[in-house]
A = this chain, B = another copy of it.
C-alpha cells in the first residue's frame, strides 16, 4: 500500500493542500429573483417562468443545463473538458440534475442534500480535484418555485395562504467550475455535515429546522481547523431565512461563537424585502445563484478575502411529513480564499 498523507483534520473536516480553483460561476434566475436586490448580478434572467418549455419541471432542468453551460463558457472550457458533473435539486429522484446531465453528456454523480446541494457538490468536487481524480468539475444545483410548490405543497392555483415562518422557493440554477489549475478563488478546506434534528415538525418552518445544522457545522469547522470566526470576512449560510438566521445566531451565541458583522444568509438577501415573501427565500437554487452570481465575483475581485460557504438543507419528504416525522437537516461547508491579483 502506498504511504499516504492524511488530509483529514478533526472529526468532520479536511484540508486541500493543492487548493482547487473556482474558475467561473454561472447563474440563471427567475422573475422574482430578477426583481430582487441581487437581480443585476445574475448571468441570465428568465422572462417567463417556463423558459420556453411546456412544464415547470422542463424549465427547471433547462435552467440547470444553462447555468452549467454559462459557467463552462466563462471558464473558457468546453463540455468535453469537464470530467465530472456533481449536483442535484429538490425534485423527486433529482430529475432536474439527471435530465440536465443527459443533455450535457458529462460523467455525472448525482448529489442529494436538499438545499445544501450547492455546497455538498463543491465539497465532493474539491476533494476529487485535490486528490488528482478530476481536472475540471462542474458543481450545480437548481430549484423552481412552481415545481417545489406542486411537489411539496398545494396547487398554486388554490391560492393557499402560508404561515409567516414559511419561505419562498427560489427559481434559479447556479454552477461553479472547479479546477486543478488556473486563476481564481481557491478552496482551502471542507467540512462534511452531520444530520441534526431538534424536533421541528412544522414543515413550513424549515429555517428553524436548519438553524442547528448550520450552527453545528460552523462549530465543527472552526473546532476542526482551530480557527476563530474572525478568520473569515464572511460566513455565508444558504437559505435559513429571517427566522432561521435569527435562531442560528442565537445558537452560535450560546456556543460562544461570535459572528457579528460577518454573517450573511443568501435566503435573506435574494428577494425584494418589500414583496411579501414571509421569512425569505429557500431552495437549492437560492445559495446556488447567490454564490455563483453575487459572491463569487467578489471573491474573484479579492473584495472577500476569506469566506466560509455553507448551504443548508432540510431532509424532509412529503411522506416523512405525512408520517409525522420531524425535519432532519444538514449543512456542508467550503472554505474559500479570494483571488489575489
Contacts and interface: CB of A to CB of B under 8 A. Distances in A.
A155 interface: no
A109 B92 contact: no
Contacts of A98: 195, 315, 328, 330
Interface stretch (A6-14, A289-297, A301-309): A6-14
A131 B134 contact: no
Contact of A92 (B93, B134, B181, B328): B93
- In the complex, the 6 A-B pairs of residues with the closest C-beta atoms, listed nearest first: A131-B131, A93-B317, A98-B315, A107-B192, A102-B195, A110-B112
A116 B298 CA distance: 38
A58 B92 CA distance: 18
A128 B90 CA distance: 25
B131 A112 contact: no
Interface residues of A, number: 70
A200 B10 CA distance: 48
Interface stretch (A119-127, A165-173, A239-247, A259-267): A119-127
Contacts of A99: 315, 320, 325, 328
Contact of A192 (B102, B105, B108, B328): B108
Contacts of A93: 90, 92, 112, 114, 315-317, 320
A179 B13 CA distance: 17
A151 to B, nearest CB: 8
Nearest to A150: B319
Given A83-B8, A98-B328, A57 B319 contact: yes
A4 B180 CA distance: 9
By secondary structure, the A interface counts as loop
Interface of A: 1-2, 4-8, 11-12, 14, 17-19, 55, 57-58, 83-84, 88, 90-95, 98-99, 101-102, 105-114, 120, 123-124, 127-128, 130-135, 151, 180-181, 192-197, 315-320, 323, 325, 328, 330, 332
Given A92-B92, A101-B194, A151-B319, 15 more contacts: A4-B132, A6-B132, A57-B320, A83-B192, A84-B192, A98-B328, A99-B325, A99-B328, A102-B328, A105-B194, A107-B193, A108-B194, A112-B112, A130-B133, A131-B131
A319 B110 CA distance: 18
A91 to B, nearest CB: 7
Nearest to A314: B93
A319 B120 contact: no
